[in-house]
Structure 1
Amino acid sequence: MELLNLAKIRLQKMRESELESLMDDVYSFCGKHEILLPKMDDDYPRSKRKRSGVSYLHHFHVEVFYAIIDLQLQELNNRFDVVTSDLLLGMASLNPVDSFANFDKNKIMKLAGYYKNDFGDNQLRDLSYQLDSFIGIKDLAIVMAKTKLDQTWSLVYLLVKLTLILPIATASVERAFSSMKLIKNDLRNRIGEEFLNGCLVCKIEPKVFATISNDAIMNSFQRMKPRRVQL
C-alpha cells in the first residue's frame, strides 16, 4: 500500500511539473534520429477541411499527456478503492512476522466491519476485547488450531480464516470473469449457461485437463449420445 501511494504521488507530480522535461527528451530523441517535429504553435490537424483551433502543444499537453496520466491514476483508484485498501491493510495487520510488527487494532476492526454477517455489533465488541490481549500468539492459524486457541479466541480465528480465504476467492473470481470475456464474445454471445460453464471449467483449470488424454475426452463425448460419425 505504501508503494501504491508513492506511485500515485509520483504520477501526480509528473502531471503537474514534468511535461517540460519530457518534451526536452522528445526533442533530443527526434534531433538525434532526424525526425521532423511540428511547430508547437501550429494547429493540430483534426480534419483536412477546417482548422481545429487546437495547437500541437495543447494536443500533446492536455489530450495526450494529461489523458494518459489521468487514465493510470483512475485505474489505480478503481483497482485499489477505499474498501480494497482497508481489506489489504487489515490483512497485513494480522501478519505474525517480527512478532506482529504490523499489528494495528483499528485497521483490523475496520476489516471485520465489512463482514456484517460474521461480525455483528456484539461480535465486534467482543473482538475488540480479544484483540487487546491477542499479541503474543505465534504462527497464527496453525498454532491456534493445534493448541485449540481457535476455540478461546474464536472471533480472532474467524477473522484469520477470512483473511486467508479472501485473496484466493478474489483471484478466483477475477480469473473466472477474465475467462468469460474470452469465451462469451461477440461471435458466441448466445452460448447456453451449461455449455458456458463447461467451457469455463476447461479454461480456468487447464492443469487438470492437461492430465486427461484427447482419446478419453472423445470417448466421453461419444458415449453421451448417438452421433453420426465416430469421434
Structure 2
Amino acid sequence: MEDTITRPGYRRQSITNDHYYRVEIFTEVVDLIIQEMNNRFSEASTDLLRCMACLDPRDSFSQFDINQLMHFTTWYPEDFSAGDCLCLPQQLRNFIVLVRHHPRFSTITDLGSFAQEMVKSGNHLIFQCVYRMIELTLVLPVATASVERAFSAMKLVKSDLRNRMQDEWMNDSLIVYIEKDIFSTIDNEKILQHFQSMRTRRNQLSSLSQTETTSSPSIYS
C-alpha cells in the first residue's frame, strides 16, 4: 500500500496506493452515498424516523425516549390535543414500566404484533395516546408508499395525449390502475351490467358471452 503510483491527468503526481484507494476512491464513494441519502431523506423525514424508532419493542424498548415521543406529537397536532399532551408524559412512564415487566410483551420484536397484543390485553384503552402513536407509526410507511405509487401511476395515466383529463376522470383511472390486482378478480360481465344499470340508454348492451359468440365466426372467416 505504500508503493507509489503516478496519478493520471494534466499534472502527473506520484501518490501512494493507500492515498489513492482511501481518498480518491473510498472517500469519493462515501460522499456520493451521503449526498444521495440527503436528497432522498430530508431533515424532517429523518427527524420523524428518529421519533418512530423510540417505539421499537425490541430489547424491551431499548430506544424508548419520552422527549422524542413528545416531539413526535408535534408532527400530528390534529391527533393530539393540548389535554393529551399534558397527560402524555405520565402515560408514557406508566406504559414503559408495564411493557418492560409484563411477560406478555417480553418476546415481541415487531410493532405490528405489539399493537395486536395491546388490543388483546385491553391496554389500548388504558394508554390511548400511546396506542394512537403506534397506529400513526404503522400507517406512515403504507401511506408514503401509496403516495409514491400514485405519482408513478399518474405519469402513465395522464400522458401528453391526455393532458386535458379532468380530476374526477383521472382519479377513477388511477384507482383502477393502482388497484389492478383487485380489479382483475372482478368478472367483466358484472362491470358491464353495472355500467348498463347506471342510467337508461338508447340501446341495451349485450352480454359478453353473446358478443363473443356473435363475433367468433368473423375471426376465422
Classify the TM-score, shorter chain: 0.5 to 0.7
Structure 2 partner of 1:125: 86
- 1:106 to partner: Cα distance: 2.3
CA 1:227/1:206 → structure 2, altered by over 3 Å: closer, same or farther?
A: same
- 1:228 to partner: Cα distance: 11
Q: Superposition RMSD on alpha carbons, in Å?
A: 3.4
1-structure distance, mates of 2:189, 2:41: 45
Structure 1 partner of 2:77: 116
The answer to whether the 8 A contact 2:196-2:204 is kept is no
Identity %: 41
Structure 2 partner of 1:180: 154
1-structure distance, mates of 2:190, 2:120: 43
CA 1:226/1:155 → structure 2, altered by over 3 Å: closer, same or farther?
A: same
Q: Return 5+ residue gaps in structure 2 as ranges.
A: 12-27, 100-104, 109-113, 212-221
- 1:94 to partner: Cα distance: 0.6
SS of residue in 2 equivalent to 1:134: helix
Which runs of structure 2 are paired with 1:34-183 in the superposition (5 Å)?
40=10, 75-135=36-96, 136-137=98-99, 138=105, 139=108, 140-183=114-157
> Is 1:199–2:173 an aligned residue pair?
yes
Q: Return 5+ residue gaps in structure 1 as ranges.
A: 1-20, 28-38, 42-65
2-structure distance, mates of 1:121, 1:76: 35
Q: State the Cα deviation string for residues 75-95 of structure 1 (Å, max 9, x = none).
A: 532431222112212222112
Opposite residue 132 of structure 2, the aligned amino acid is L
Opposite residue 86 of structure 1, the aligned amino acid is D
CA 1:181/1:227 → structure 2, altered by over 3 Å: closer, same or farther?
A: farther
The answer to whether the 8 A contact 2:196-2:205 is kept is no
- 1:141 to partner: Cα distance: 1.8
**TM-score under structure 1 length normalisation:** 0.61
Which runs of structure 2 are paired with 1:9-28 in the superposition (5 Å)?
none
